[in-house]
Amino acid sequence: MEKIGVTWNRLTSSKLYWPLAALFFVLLFNFFFTKDFFAIEIKDGHFYGVTIDILNRATPLMLLAIGMTLVIATKGIDISVGSMIAISGAVSASLIGGKLEYVDGVKTLVTLVPMPVAIFAALLVTTLLGMWNGLLISRVGIQPIVATLILLVAGRGIAQLITQGQIITVYYKPFQFIGTGYILGLPFSLFIVGLVFGITLYAVRKTALGMFIESIGINPIASKFTGINVSKYIFSVYAFSGLCAGLAGLIICSNVSSADGNNAGLFIELDAILAVSLGGNSLDGGRFSLLGSLIGALVIQSITTTIYALGVPPEITLVVKSVVVIIICLLQSANFRKVVFSKWAQKRGIPDAKNAAKL
Amino acid sequence: MSKWKKLTIGLSVGIMMFTLAGCGGAKQETATKPADKKIVLGFSQIGAESEWRTANTESIKASAQAAGIELKFSDAQQKQENQIKALRSFIQQKVDVIAFSPVVETGWDAVLQEAKAAKIPVILTDRSIKMSSGNAEDYYVTFMGSDFVEEGRRAGKWLVDTMKKDKDPVNIVELQGTVGSAPAIDRKTGFEEILKQNANYKIIKSQTGDFTRAKGKEVMESFLKSAKADGQKIDVLYAHNDDMAIGAIQAIEEAGLKPGKDIIIVSIDAVKGAFEAMIAGKLNATIECSPLLGDQLMAATKDLVAGKKIEKRIVTKEGVFPAEVAAKELPNRKY
């Protein structure tokens, strides 16, 4: 009995407990109220179902959340990722070429440059933009929210400039594989996330990088005196966040085979910050959990998909979404839990100290 | 007089001469008097959410240039607050005429009262407004653009005529436009008007796709799955614009169905992308909603400045394009 108690305590005190609980409750709700939510069948050689949709749709958000987690861990924030998505899509789509020409009634595809070059260029551009953010923050000393605000505003203008205000349609089939292709029955974009997640996790947990980032987030001045090159790491996390946004942009653009300078990734920066926060990470920087952020992204997409599946009237979808998010945030707040559940906890004889210790 | 002052005056005179010379030399004697004032039109566009909107913007810009009207153009990026800001700045700059395409129907009371107080005539293009109190018509001189209710009706009529089903139930899913926008409300109203006369046609699911491809695709994916879970067959997709339909077509294909055959698709706007989809046999019909109102807008602006009275409602010319005529019609499309 005591053993179970110890395991339970270890589980509830884990950083991932509340994010996982949130995801579990959203899925549990669907299990009871959405018909066939977990039904998965095989169609055209790949898995097909609502859960696969959630995974597939959440990939851009997951990529952003990975980059955003590191940025937030340094006590920064990057609100320019949505605009960078638009730029990444615009660059890749306009380089591949949006022309579908009819020659004697036969469709002919025109590509301006080979696809790998276009993809590389898009990622290079967003990484450079991320470096620009990093430069402003680490060297010039502008506050992160202000520095990235510049690209949030200007970025969509740049994207529009590249697409010349048009929605560029990509007819080139191989490009569509990034956002709609399947490997081993699972969406290809999921493998991109897996790869980025794997590399990032290795870099921050198997090397000292993660500790440096946490240390900078907690106290940059002390970190500097310990010999950590603070500005170098701050610069790098923004560049990395730009790269993640570039990848997310490619997935979004490829999924609908078109680049929309105005709407691609609109307001997604807020969802990315929310994902990091739902993942149990503090916006104050310091300790972080990449896996938590991924779970946070999944929670957000699950809520969206649930709303569609339930047929919530379009006029109130945003209200429903926000109410769910508020409930999850309240449950994650140790302060809130202490106030609401302390009586219940006393009755059960669970010492209050445990809750207090978490504050 | 200091050296700098002399230099500035010399420079500005030089610049004035230069610009006036550019106007055609004949006007040089008026250099002392203010030159003939160009008509200034302030236009606040919603954004560039679709090919349709871009064509609309281009038509207005081109027509303004052709008509010799100075156009102050502002892009609101789908936000009402940006539009209100733009309108306020137009009022401050004392433009001759304000035109705008309201992103949503309500919330314009204060800013339009300011325009009225400044005696600047306001033209609404392609979307109408509602006032919380008082008559909205008192605040604008004309509403120029398409009749969205009629477009909805045309989509409904085309569907009923093509399906030719009197008794068998027809299940329709609907992709609505941006919640609260005039085209979304009116296209729904017009379409439902026709369905009321045909009881076997039923809208089984309806959700907003925000007029974008990405959202249209995402919502359609969900429609396909939840319809299947409920044991319903989707016969028809009605999308409030072509872009959402194009997104939804991809979702239908990924579900292993044939768009245009397994699911009949009708949408509104008639953009180029829709014609390409019709040629490929993936879209069945599109109802035209012409964005090319630039010339009509400039004519109305000139009439207003000249003090002429203009009609309260100016409707643009539009048609219906079924898939059969798509290949013939595509080369003529401007948007």
Max Cα–Cα distance, chain A, nearest Å: 82
Q: Do B48 and A262 lie within an 8 Å CB cutoff?
A: yes
Distance from C-alpha of A33 to C-alpha of B146, rounded to nearest angstrom: 42
Residue A353 has pLDDT above 90, yes or no: no
Identify all chain B residues contacting A169, using CB atoms and an 8 Å cutoff.
273
Residues 6+ apart with CB under 8 A from B59: B291, B292, B293, B294, B295, B334
- Chain B: give the shortest CA distance to residue A149, in Å: 16
Beta-carbon-side half-sphere exposure of residue A175 (alpha carbons within 13 Å): 32
Q: How confident is the model at residue B88 (pLDDT cuts 50, 70, 90)?
A: very high
Cα A213 to Cα A302: distance, rounded to the nearest angstrom: 30
Strand partners, B321: B286
pLDDT (tens digit per residue) in A174-210: 899 999 999 998 999 999 999 999 999 999 999 999 9
A3, pLDDT greater than 80: no
Domains detected in chain B? 40-146+291-317 (3.40.50.2300), 148-289 (3.40.50.2300)
Most confident of A10-14, A245-249, B295-299: A245-249
Instruction: Please report residues of B whose CB lies closer than 8 A to that of A43.
Output: 255-256
Q: Is the pLDDT of residue A355 over 70?
A: no
pLDDT at A77 > cutoff 50: yes
* Spatial CA neighbour of A26 closest among A293, A281, A274, A307: A307
Of A125-129, A213-217, B307-311, the one with minimum mean pLDDT is B307-311
Q: For residue B216, what is the nearest residue in chain A, using CA coordinates? A: A256
On the CB side of A149, CA atoms within 13 Å amount to 6
Of the candidates A156, A266, A314, which has its C-beta nearest B208's C-beta? A314
Cβ–Cβ gap A309/B225 under 8 Å:
yes
Q: Distance between CA atoms of A25 and A35, rounded to whole angstroms?
A: 16
Cα separation, A315 vs A337, in Å, equals 32
User: What pLDDT was estimated at residue A342?
Assistant: 77
pLDDT band at A70 (very low <50, low <70, confident <90, very high): very high
B35-57: buried (b, 16+ CB within 10 Å) or exposed (e) per residue? eeeebbbbbbbbbbbbbbbbbbb
Per-residue confidence at B13, pLDDT binned at 50, 70, 90? low
B77 with A262: Cβ contact below 8 A: yes
The residue behind tokens 């407990």 is A17
pLDDT at residue number A298:
96
- Cα of A166 to nearest chain B Cα, Å: 6
Question: Which structure tokens are listed for B35?
Answer: 């030159």
Q: Which helix (H) or strand (E) holds A263?
A: none
pLDDT of residue B329: 84
- pLDDT at residue A6, rounded to an integer: 74
pLDDT for residue B38:
86
- Calpha distance B189→B195 (Å, rounded): 10
Residue-averaged pLDDT of chain B: 86
Percent of chain A residues past pLDDT 90, beyond the cut: 59
Q: What percent of chain A has pLDDT over 70?
A: 91
Select the residue of A36, A257, A308 nearest B219 (Cβ to Cβ): A308
Query: Which pLDDT tens digit goes with each residue over B314-333?
Result: 888 788 999 988 888 888 78
The alpha-carbon gap from B230 to the nearest alpha carbon of chain A, in Å, equals 7
Say whether pLDDT at B84 is over 90. yes
- What local confidence, expressed as pLDDT, does residue B273 receive? 87
pLDDT at B21: 46
How far is A264 from A58, CA to CA, in rounded Å?
14
The pLDDT assigned to A274 comes to 94
Question: Which residues share a beta bridge with A103?
Answer: A106
The answer, yes or no, to whether residue A66 has pLDDT greater than 50, is yes
**How far does B318 lie from chain A, in Å, by closest CA?**
23
For residue A234, give the nearest of A131, A165, A343, A308 by alpha carbon: A131
Q: Please give the structure tokens belonging to residue A340.
A: 């609401």
Is A187 in contact with A40 (CB distance < 8 Å)? no
Nearest CA in chain A to B279: A105
Please report residues of B whose CB lies closer than 8 A to that of A37.
229
Q: What pLDDT score was predicted for residue B22?
A: 45
Confidence of residue B33 (pLDDT cuts 50, 70, 90): very low
> What ipTM was predicted for this assembly?
0.83
**CA neighbor of A50 nearest in space, from B330, B295, B230:** B230
Strands (E), A242-310: 258-260
Better pLDDT: A334 or B39:
B39
Burial status of residue A226 (CB atoms within 10 A of its CB: 0-12, 13-18, 19 or more): exposed
d(Cα A87, Cα A65) in Å, to the nearest integer?
18
pLDDT tens-digit series, residues A86-108: 999 999 999 987 566 665 556 66
Residue A45 is predicted with a pLDDT of 81
Least confidently predicted of A87-96, A118-127, B48-57: B48-57
Taking any CB pair shorter than 8 Å as contact, residues of chain B touching chain A are: 47-51, 54, 57, 77-78, 176, 179-180, 205-208, 210, 212-214, 217-219, 221-223, 225-226, 228-230, 243, 247, 250, 254-256, 273, 276
Using the beta-carbon criterion (under 8 Å), do A263 and B214 form an inter-chain contact? yes
Find tokens 């044939």 and name the residue: B258
> What local confidence, expressed as pLDDT, does residue B34 receive?
46
CA atoms within a 13 Å half-sphere pointing along the CA-CB vector of B130: 8
Interface test with A, best of B221, B228, B249 (most A CBs within 10 A): B221
- Mean pLDDT on B174-196: 93
pLDDT the model gives residue A359: 44
Check residue A294 and give its pLDDT. 96
| pLDDT class of B115 with cuts at 50, 70, 90 | very high
- The ranges assigned to domains in chain A are 18-311, 322-359
Q: Which residues contact B11 (CB under 8 A, 6 or more apart)?
A: none
* pLDDT, tens digit (0-9, with 9 covering 90-100), for A311-331: 888 888 889 889 998 998 888
SS3 percent helix, strand, coil of chain B, rounded to 5, is 50, 20, 35
Helix (H) or strand (E) holding B146: none
Mean pLDDT, all residues of chain A: 88
Candidates B49, B205, B213; nearest CB to A256: B213
Chain A with chain B: Cβ pairs closer than 8 A: 89
CA-based nearest distance A34→chain B, Å: 8
